[in-house]
Amino acid sequence: MLPEPFLCMKRVFNFSAGPAALPDEVLRTAAEEMLDWHGSGMGVMEMSHRGPEFISICDQAFSDLRELLAVPADYDILFLQGGGIGENAIVPMNLIGRLAEQGRQPAADYVVSGSWSVKSFKEARKYGDIRVVASNETEGFTAFPDPAGWKLNDDSAYVHVCTNETIHGIECHVPPEVGQKDGRVLVADVSSHILSRPMNISRFGAVYGGAQKNIGPAGVTIVIVRKDLLGHALPITPSAFDWKIVSEFGSMYNTPPTYAIYVAGLAFQWIKRQGGLAAIEQRNVAKAKLLYDFIDGSDFYLNNVEKGSRSRMNIPFFLADESRNKDFLGGAKARGMVQLKGHKSVGGMRASIYNAMPLEGVQALVDYMREFERKS
């Protein structure tokens, strides 16, 4: 049982883009089990990753994630380390090698839709012929590039997209078709909206994401990859990042981030108790609509993203009078709302409203924004 001071502790509404807020239930369970997991006399951080206790935790996490996302049987789920940025290198090292095996130039196509896909493209260029086939940079990253205008190459191993741009607040709501020319597949960085909605995993060759948005603490990276794409890593690929080796060892080729996997597993179970991803999506739609409708109805606040590309998870906005930014943030903090400052590269404000953010938190923000506007 948790001590009384912990139970009475006041929690803020945390709008951080990541590491982000976790559900209170998840944190309470983790706290209760910190010293003794299920009568084992050990905390999860102390367990051998090869012992039966942690193996059961990991197996349950794999099973629950597969169930939540309806991952087909011909796909593997991997738990790795290095975050989404690490996968910017690990993805090309694992996926362009099959072209080299055929005596072809290792090549891939990248769609640039914001800061994170720019990072992905720049990193991938170290490993092959990487081409930008669509970009919205000249428009200021205000809409996801229309797939009708993508200039795909027939010789690419894969087409890479970031389906939710955390900094610019852009979301790809429907995975595009990229054809199957010479085995070409769609690959997505889904870090900041995975588990916020149902996903048709079969539309992708692979998806990946860091856990620290909708899943758990930083430290574990999730990769879901079609099994026939395994086994083609470039010779330079470190063994710990060769997806085939990681798969063969059940994500335990090296010591995995055990505690992060454990907390992620608690989050999977929490999502199931909420009714699964269909119910979670309904809540996320309602939260995003509440905030966007208020912004659109105000002359004091502005969101620059085209409506069809707006993210449900990350909502950037600007004050008409940006000299008031510091006052706005100070007032929000005084009312128990934190981490609203926009990314340093774009400025303004940003409200990240992942799964753990309740509707009450978004309502509190809207009420404060209305009050601040009235008093300005």
Long-range pairs, 203-212, Cβ under 8 A, ≥24: 203/175, 203/177, 204/175, 205/95, 205/158, 205/229, 206/91, 206/95, 206/158, 208/84, 208/87, 208/91, 209/84, 210/18, 210/83, 210/84, 211/260, 211/264, 212/18, 212/19, 212/20, 212/83
C-alpha distance from residue 212 to each of 22, 273, 299 (Å): 9, 20, 34
* 116 is known as an active-site residue: yes
Radius of gyration (C-alpha) of the chain in whole angstroms: 21
Backbone angles phi, psi at 134, to 5 degrees: -165, 145
Termini Cα distance of the chain: 47
Catalytic residue among 37, 76, 213, 341: 213
Catalytic residue among 64, 109, 116, 242: 116
Amino acid making up residue 290: L
Catalytic residue among 64, 189, 243, 341: 189
Q: Which residue from 294, 304, 314 is spatially nearest to 373, judged by alpha carbons?
A: 294
Token output for 181: 């020319």
Distance CA 237, CA 226 (A): 19
Backbone angles phi, psi at 128, to 5 degrees: 175, -170
- Dihedral angle over CA of 77, 79, 80, 84, nearest 10: 70
Distance CA 101, CA 116 (A): 30
* 213 is known as an active-site residue: yes
Catalytic residues: 116, 189, 213
